[in-house]
């Protein structure tokens, strides 16, 4: 990583001394809901975060260095607003113990007409494809991610986000194409070394993409993930779909989802169907198959504030134990869930 930082410094030197203009933005999301879940006669009610959008607070900035070159930074921290703690982990710390501060994203960039060089902790291309092509954006009960076990028990850290990463992003003017390649160093930690990429195209209401990535596991097979996704905006409705395969030889999980969003003035109705099936080394909790139906209603009080409610049913089969969140689910048991909440962004 020292070499990568040195490369950034060298590129910056060529920009020359300019009368730089810079800007810094504070942004965030506060999302809270009351969640209800029931499975096999057991019920729980919890106050939860991240059900419509992921809670966060962040700072981002951009500086014009002249000659078409810009420098930027992005620092974004997750939050558990129900208990007032930092949210999530960087794979090396835990949310119940010492949490990472800017666990969602912590990057510095150089940007030009040739693209962006981005260094730090960031989403992996393979996970981000699942976010793009899910109407729920990988949030809340009913999201396709409920049925996507990306690590498969491998101990992989770089499944959703990668530490110590260097990424090249295609420039904005690339004929509708966008995407990136990303590598991340292990720095002596198993499951942290990652490389992958995604290539997408958007135009005339259509957005399609594919991604693939691999995480190195010390003295074990590599974890491999690949996916395909698409969305199309008809105006009166937007449909989404993705197909994801995670494989830790010989264990494999295939997940697929079809979802739709329908805007109705200040309201939005979302719905989805998701399916998943384990194969290969089907032992322990990595067995069986499941499907999930969900329906969500959003009412936008303003551009920044929304009320929402969601209902979902997840059905496990052949010993599967997928769940909707906090409630442990027994083998082959179904689980029903619902929530009501409010989200405010700033």
The secondary structure of the chain in percent helix, strand, coil, rounded to multiples of 5, reads: 5, 55, 40
Supply the pLDDT for residue 81.
87
Checking if the pLDDT of 10 tops 80, the result is: no
Supply the pLDDT for residue 284.
85
Q: Residue 126: enclosing H or E segment and its boundaries?
A: helix 125-132
Tokens of 116: 């962006």
Supply the pLDDT for residue 3.
40
Beta bridge partners of 233: 238
Which residues, 6 or more positions from 295, have their beta carbon under 8 angstroms from its beta carbon? 142, 269, 270, 271, 310, 311, 312
Burial class (CB in 10 A: 0-12, 13-18, 19+), 259: buried
pLDDT band at 30 (very low <50, low <70, confident <90, very high): very high
Q: Is residue 244 within 8 Å of 254, Cβ to Cβ?
A: yes
Q: What does the radius of gyration of the chain's CA atoms come to, in whole angstroms?
A: 21
CA gap 15, 107 in Å, rounded:
20
pLDDT band at 151 (very low <50, low <70, confident <90, very high): very high
Supply the pLDDT for residue 9.
41
Supply the pLDDT for residue 89.
87
Q: Is residue 306 within 8 Å of 270, Cβ to Cβ?
A: no
Q: Where are the domains of the chain?
A: 2-345
Q: Is residue 339 within 8 Å of 46, Cβ to Cβ?
A: no
pLDDT band at 13 (very low <50, low <70, confident <90, very high): very low
Q: What is the mean pLDDT of residues 254-259?
A: 98
Checking if the pLDDT of 189 tops 80, the result is: yes
Give me the DSSP letters along 240-257.
EEEEEEEEETTEEEEEEE
Burial class (CB in 10 A: 0-12, 13-18, 19+), 181: middle
233-253 tens-digit pLDDT: 999 999 999 999 999 999 999
The CATH class of the 2-345 domain is: mainly beta
Checking if the pLDDT of 162 tops 60, the result is: yes
264-280 tens-digit pLDDT: 999 999 999 999 999 99
């Amino acid at each position: 990583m020292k070499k990568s930082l040195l490369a950034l410094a060298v590129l910056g030197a060529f920009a020359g001394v300019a009368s730089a203009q810079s800007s810094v933005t504070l942004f965030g999301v506060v999302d809270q809901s009351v969640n209800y879940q029931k499975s096999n006669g057991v019920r729980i009610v919890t106050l939860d975060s991240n059900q419509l959008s992921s809670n966060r607070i962040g700072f981002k900035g951009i500086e014009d260095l002249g000659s078409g070159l810009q420098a930027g930074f992005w620092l974004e921290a997750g939050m558990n607003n129900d208990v007032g703690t930092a949210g999530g982990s960087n794979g090396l710390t835990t949310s119940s113990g010492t949490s990472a501060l800017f666990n969602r994203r912590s990057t510095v960039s150089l940007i030009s007409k040739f693209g962006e060089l981005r260094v730090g902790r960031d989403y992996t291309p393979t996970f981000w494809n699942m976010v793009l092509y899910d109407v729920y954006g990988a949030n809340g009960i009913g999201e396709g991610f409920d049925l996507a076990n990306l690590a498969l028990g491998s101990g992989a850290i770089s499944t959703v986000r990668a530490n110590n990463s260097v990424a090249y992003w295609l420039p904005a003017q690339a004929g509708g194409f966008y995407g990136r390649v990303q590598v991340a160093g292990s720095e002596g930690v198993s499951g942290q070394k990652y490389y992958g990429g995604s290539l997408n195209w958007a135009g005339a209401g259509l957005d399609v993409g594919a991604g693939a990535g691999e995480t190195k596991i010390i003295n074990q097979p590599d974890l491999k993930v690949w996916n395909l996704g698409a969305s199309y905006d008809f105006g009166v409705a937007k449909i989404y779909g993705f197909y994801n395969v995670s494989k830790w030889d010989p264990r494999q999980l295939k997940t697929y989802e079809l979802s739709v969003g329908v805007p109705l003035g200040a309201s939005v109705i979302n719905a989805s169907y998701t399916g998943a099936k384990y194969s290969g080394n089907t032992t322990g909790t990595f067995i069986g198959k499941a499907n999930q139906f969900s329906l969500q209603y959003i009412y936008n009080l303003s551009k920044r504030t929304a009320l929402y409610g969601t209902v979902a049913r997840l059905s496990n089969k052949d010993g599967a134990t997928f769940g909707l969140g906090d409630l442990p689910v027994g083998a082959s048991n179904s689980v029903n869930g619902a929530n009501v909440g409010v989200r405010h962004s700033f």
